[in-house]
Amino acid sequence: MILRRTVLAAATALAAATAMTSPASARQRAVKDARTAPLRTRSANEQLAALRERRITSRELLEQHLKHIAKANPQVNAVVTLDADGARAAADKADRHLASTGKTLGPLHGLPMTVKDALEVEGIRTTCGSPALTDHVPDRDADVIALLRDAGAIIIGHTNVPTMCQDIQTSNPLFGTTSNPFDATKTAGGSSGGPAAAVAAGFTGLEIGSDLAGSLRLPAAYCGVYALRTSRGASPIVPTRGHIPRLPGWATSSDMITLGPIARTVEDLGLLLDVIAAPSPADRAGWNIDLPAPAKTKLGQFRVGIWADDAYCHVDAETRALLGQVAKLVRGLCATVDDSTRPVDFAESDKLFQRLMYATASATSTDAAFAADVAAAAKVPADDPSGLYLHSRTMRHRDWCVADEARQELRATWDRYFEEHDILITPATPTAAVPDQTSTPAPQRYITVDGQKRSYYDQTSWLNLTSPVGLPSLVLPAGKTDAGLPLAIQIIGPYLGDRTVLEAAKQLAQRLPHPAQPPTFAT
């Protein structure tokens, strides 16, 4: 049963926090605890500052992370492949370089990181949770991994995913299930459940996740960390070659997938974005990625849309209360707030997204499997809702072109909306983290919202507003339930407005309750 507090309790707790009435003693205790805690518990920016100033070596910081993983990871099962020897060699090399030259290798110099087991890492087993890839050891880094290495990051190993990233919770036959670090009976989300859980549990300060259908943001919302789905037009602003799926060796990826950062602070999201927002290697001779500065510098200057609930995907009482308190907070800063905003038709947007998603997912089907889908689709009437999956998966190229035209029209609708608004705030999910259902067959899974059974896939409906149109969207922790489960909101911005979304999130985060930490964080 999903744990929930009363609307009154939710409103009271968040109102107190957002009004910045937290006792000074609590902040003083937090500062004192931070001074005595291991450096690995601090933000990535703080860890990097300590490395630059030689208050700690990369090897020492790495050993802190490895020790914590060894002790606490068995409870969470977020980190599934370790390359401790390779990481130690890289950390020692970084330390020697800094000692001999006085210069860092790059903006992530010496920082230990894990990465999602969907991103190929040279010399490290990369499986995407698939038995078919059990022995897959790439001989080349994914483009984004090469960017991390060039920036000086130390790759520790891989974090868990559902098989071929095809679920919104995280489990596979090779490595088992990743638990939510706040409550082992709840899901960590998927497909970036391992990455989000690893950041929340303190196994790494930064992670790279991928997002097609909320795969980056859903786990962040459930695990109480920050994540950014980056902008995507005809091409992504973060290169995707080397992401599985598609299959190893494919040069292309889905036309909606993006890669993005996961972190424990908004500032750390920005740090990693600056590293990974880059053209693919083939394009770098011709152009650079130069994202615009934030549209505004103060939260009170923003024109804010608030879309708190919708009949197409109702949220629960505590999430509605959370959105109400966020709206009150923003109004209190004198921002312009439009809480009757409805930028697009939710149902039509979601149906279009599903059609495009099913179509792109068919690319790596075997010839035999695709032929079977075509035969099955022919038996279902075109106007039968139950045939949406099959008809979308097997659509003709002309039909895809028509759907793509609808996508471009939807993008234009969003463009017009952001001529009058700077950001849109929505729920991230209908509820806090739901029970893990990895042992339940997919057709039997469901979630419960205010006592009502709902589709299992409603978990990502709010997140998928941006997926077909490539808008930047950021999930940030904004409160918690009485049982300690994180609650999150989503901030959406205009195309290429990634820095605007980051700036709004940074200022909101300063006024919202400090994100909760799971017991495994300091174990």
Question: Which residue in 83, 33, 32, 37 sits closest to 62, CA to CA?
Answer: 83
Cβ neighbour number for residue 386 with a 10 Å cutoff: 9
**Ordered alpha helix ranges (H), 161-287:** 193-200, 217-223, 266-276
The upper half-sphere exposure of residue 371, i.e. CA atoms within 13 Å in the direction of its Cβ, equals 3
C-alpha–C-alpha distance, residues 324 and 14, integer Å: 10
> Which 3 state secondary structure label does DSSP give 506?
helix
Token pair of 60, please?
């020492």
User: What residues form DSSP beta bridges with 448?
Assistant: 453
- In Å, what is the CA distance from 244 to each residue of 108, 253, 431? 25, 8, 29
Answer left, alpha or beta for residue 451, where phi above 0 means left and psi between -120 and 50 means alpha.
Answer: left
Catalytic residue numbers read: 116, 191, 215
How far does Cα 448 stand from its chain's mean position?
23
* Pairing label, strands 303-306, 336-338: parallel
C-alpha–C-alpha distance, residues 396 and 227, integer Å: 35
Question: Which residue in 304, 360, 306 sits closest to 333, CA to CA?
Answer: 304
Those residues whose C-beta lies under 8 Å from the C-beta of residue 407, and which sit 6 or more positions away, are 352, 356, 468, 469
Question: Which residue in 488, 255, 217, 430 sits closest to 353, CA to CA?
Answer: 255
How far does Cα 196 stand from its chain's mean position?
7
C-alpha–C-alpha distance, residues 419 and 368, integer Å: 48
Q: Residue 130 carries which side chain, given as an amino acid letter?
A: S
Secondary element (H or E) of residue 76: helix 58-76
Those residues whose C-beta lies under 8 Å from the C-beta of residue 7, and which sit 6 or more positions away, are 317, 318, 320, 321
**Ordered alpha helix ranges (H), 435-478:** none
**Ordered alpha helix ranges (H), 387-485:** 388-393, 397-417
> Which 3 state secondary structure label does DSSP give 330?
helix
User: To 10 degrees, the CA torsion angle through 152, 156, 161, 164?
Assistant: 70
Token pair of 339, please?
């809480």
